[in-house]
Amino acid sequence: MGERVFITEVGLRDGLQNQPVPVSTQDKLRLANALIAAGVRRLEAVSFVHPKIVPQMADAVEVLAGLPKVDALNVTALVPNMKGYERAREQGLKRVAVVVSTTDTFNLRNLNMTTAQTMEASLSVIRQARQDGLSARAYISGALACPYDGPTPVDVVHRMAEQLINGGADEISVADTIGAGNPRQIKDILRPLVAQYGAEAFNLHLHDTRGMALAMAWAGIECGVRKFDSSVGGLGGCPFAPGASGNVATEDLVYMLEASGFDSGISLEGLREAVAIAEQATQKTLGGRILTWMRSQDALKAAKAQPCAS
């Protein structure tokens, strides 16, 4: 058994939130059940935002209520403010996530607040979560590049991480929100932070817009990080980056890690079933690169099994 790596599946939240085709509660729960059957034990399932802003998340309460009761299942909800936090706490969640973007422009477009205001709102949620006995993850969104202001200076990310950790965040998720980063940036960001706070305090949330997500994940591995976000089938996309392909596909990340000697606890065959459900629900073709290869092997085996012509 290799060293354990922890993957948080964010397809139900980040993957679905911008999908143009409405996805029913029933289909979300079918997908959740398939992911859990595949071995997923960390699930960012919903966000508590205004339904007019993100209609796909309007059924957050129903989704949480319908999730199976599985030992060691760690469910997170994204909460943009204290109102969202209270709704998550009412549902009995033990873990929430907040998000702060790296620039005023991004925060104003995303949450209609400046960076300072967003940071204070996030710290308020984190403080309340600690008081209530909940854990809190903090996303630093646009950590490698802002869709409006360009590349993000490393020291900006370092200062924000320090504020959030000192404010009580249990985990910092360094997010390449638009998939514009590269492995060198990951190392420049993570090495000083890991040296100061320890690798266990950090998670990587990587989008694969430019095909760099797996290379960036490996850079994180080399820095000692063992926690990652991914999205089944590569579900997602970003409204700030036209053509963005969504988060790194869970199946590609699992394959890379398992092939390199790590243990994710997640079954590739199980993920294939989850991808099929996601395709039906979103009415689009999904799947990481490893699924293309697996399908080619299936076709090869089927061809070999055919009887020879006499």
Q: Where are the alpha helices (DSSP H) in the chain?
A: 25-37, 60-66, 82-90, 104-111, 115-132, 154-166, 183-197, 213-222, 250-259, 268-282, 289-305
DSSP 151: E
Q: Are strands 74-78 and 42-47 parallel, antiparallel or unpaired?
A: parallel
Mode of pairing for the β-strands spanning 171-176 and 135-141: parallel
Contact between residue 114 and residue 100 where contact means Cβ atoms under 8 Å apart:
no
The burial class, CB within 10 Å (0-12 / 13-18 / 19+), for 189 is: buried
| Residue 241, beta-bridge partner list | 238
Closest CA to 139 of 83, 93, 78: 78
In the numeric block, the tokens 């469910």 are attached to 75
Instruction: Check if 146 is active-site.
Output: no
Q: Which of 146, 223, 238, 308 is catalytic?
A: 238
Q: Give CA separation, 279 vs 16, 21, 105, 232, 267, in Å.
A: 11, 11, 34, 10, 18
- 273, 13 in Cβ contact below 8 A? no
- From first CA to last CA, the distance across the chain in angstroms is 48
Q: Which positions are catalytic?
A: 238
